[in-house]
Structure 1
Amino acid sequence: MDLLCRYAGRMDDLRSAFDGFTAIIPAGGAGTRLWPLSRQDRPKFLLDLLGSGRSLLQATVDRMDGLCAPDRIFVVTGGAHAPAVRAQVPSVAHNVLVESAPRDSMAAIGLAAAVVHHRHGPTVVGSFAADHVIRGLDEFHETVRQAIEAAHHGYLVTIGIPATRPSTAFGYVRSGEKLSDQPGSRARHVEAFKEKPDAETAMQYLATGKYRWNAGMFVVRTDVLLGHLQRIKPEMHDILTQLATVWDTDGRDEAMSRLWPQLEKVPIDVAIAEPVAAEGKAAIVLAGFGWDDVGDFNSLAALLPSVDRAGNKALGNSSLIVRDGVAGSIVSASAGRVVAVLGLDDVVVIDTPDAVLVTTRARAQAVKDIVTMVAADVPDAPV
């Protein structure tokens, strides 16, 4: 009985913490390091890369269950992707905010925050990318709960991912003193946000034990975020608040076409997080859940189950894939034809109807560069 009472009390605490909480899901980018699976017209957040039956976007929306109601989930995406987004997540179709052109994360998150603030007044919002993979739902919810608590006290809060290797693909956050003495609290002051480092600097970061990966997840009150924007980026603040004022009116399209192109193209880390951290007004909650941005085929391979004892991975119809003397590969046969690999370890072979990629897992980050070359050298390139 005591256990049940404690559990019920815990659920009440969680519901209280999440009251009014609103999720913002930026859904943009082409995911070019996952080409040719991910394309400009079919980016990775619309794909079921893990074979779960749900796209990364759908899984992100699913993850919000227990944090907020569907009418408190906003997706910000481009016009080209809006129909597919609405089709994949019809429960939040009414809250799909359409950008007229990509203006980076500050504009996307700022627009949603301004619209939420205009509709509901000061509200704690959290931004969660549409194309990330998270493992450990209960731990994720607990981390968000702690972030919401810190946000209620006026902090701009980020969620820090354990840095398991000296990656040069992510930004870093240096954590400082504890924010609270409450048992179980993992909230810390942020000492600094750091841009993507070189390999030597990344190793130095890990050696200190103070650095976490910056996964781009931010939790903050709308009035606090807009207040920071008004101080630091006043032009952006004015445009976003003007757009929010007319968003639910017939004047939206005209205002977007006139005002949106004037917005500075800048990530939220640079626009707000770095200067706010320098002022001592940013916090970090140390996360314990599994996270991956599925940034390339090497990271995707690490998320997929092995199909044999040699650690090979398959995407799509594995019955069409034949390997001999191969270990650590990731192969896709999505074009519907046989793909045979002989004597190559750690190879990436992605076969689609109009393009084939062959590389190694070690060169997975460089796929973006080959896509640039394809676009430049091949007429009507399938990118």
Structure 2
Amino acid sequence: MVSTAYMRTIFPAAMLALAGCSGGDEEPAAPPAMPVDVMTVQSQSVPNIVELPGRIEPVRTAEVRARVTGIVQARLYEEGTDIAKGAPLFRIDPRELQATGAQVRANLQRLRATAANANAVVRRYKPLVSEQAISQQEYDAAIAAQREAEAAVSEAKAQLDAAQLQLGYTTVRAPISGRVGRAQVTEGALVSQTEATLMTRIEQLDPVYVTLSQSSSEVLKIRRAIAAGDIALSDDGRIEFEVTFEDGTRYPITGHLNFFDYSVDQGTSSVTLRGEITNPQRLLLPGDFVRARIMAGTREGGIMVPQRAVQIGENGASLFVVGAKGVAQSRKVTLGPLSGTDWIVEDGLRPGDKVIVSNLQKIREGAPVKPRDARSVLGSGTAPAKSKAAAPSSKAK
């Protein structure tokens, strides 16, 4: 016989053990849905951005060369500074040219005296011809001598002007305004007019050119898209671009394209483009490597998503969308260039897809999500881009 006290002790313990065994067969509860902000993808007008590498070139480059032969006496400028057009750069020993000029001036005075005498003879002979005191032949000879003397005077004047011009070249002046480089000659060096000795260079750095190269196939693709109306340019046809330095920082001033080469380089199968951009602080230096973002109009039917929605890894870019059963699905996408704070998506999304833009670090593939409208949190990011695109669309209709 089992005592009543023993039963009272064993029965509750047995019940607890049975309860524990029955509970182990139940499935765990599903995790709650993660609240996420989503935006619905819409087809819209997007900027047609072309990114190309380029080099900075000065708008003007002047090679300062010797125009007279002589010895350099002094350098009159500070290397690497900005100078104005006409500023003195070098002084070449002028003494030899001064002596030549004095000789030509003396010869001019002698010829002027000869011409004055010939004029006096003509004045004396003129009344004597009518009185037949002298022959017509003598008078004609006096006229010829007068004209020859006047021609000699004119020739000597031209020689004097040339001598003075050569003497002026002994002070070498800047042909353009810009930044002057280091001197190629020093004091005491012999420079030659015949060899056109290079003395220094001047480069105009405001504005500057950005020289770009685009493959001929891409140029043809863009031109066909413009002709078909898929790409719309501005009314004035002006194409602007932005510049980014090698370290990724953006240059704060926008330039515009001003040259398009209609011939294709046979060696590279590329077409040369050139833009002009102001450079007041001389941040852009000749030879700098830059990347240019060309805003070549707009194209319809594009898709843009906020930059915060995209995750970029070793395998490319991806983002999360809300699947049919309310779960997160990873989607690989092909990205185009950035437009403000939005990525232009070339492939991987369709209008109507719901892109998740928040809690991206917390959600996983297949996790249930609770979507809510992202317009309240995106603020001035994506919503205004849609409103801007709607205006041209209504005009087109």
Give the TM-score normalised by the residue count of structure 1: 0.20
Instruction: Select the structure with the greater relative contact order (CA < 8 A; seq sep ≥ 6).
Output: 2
More helix, by proportion: 1
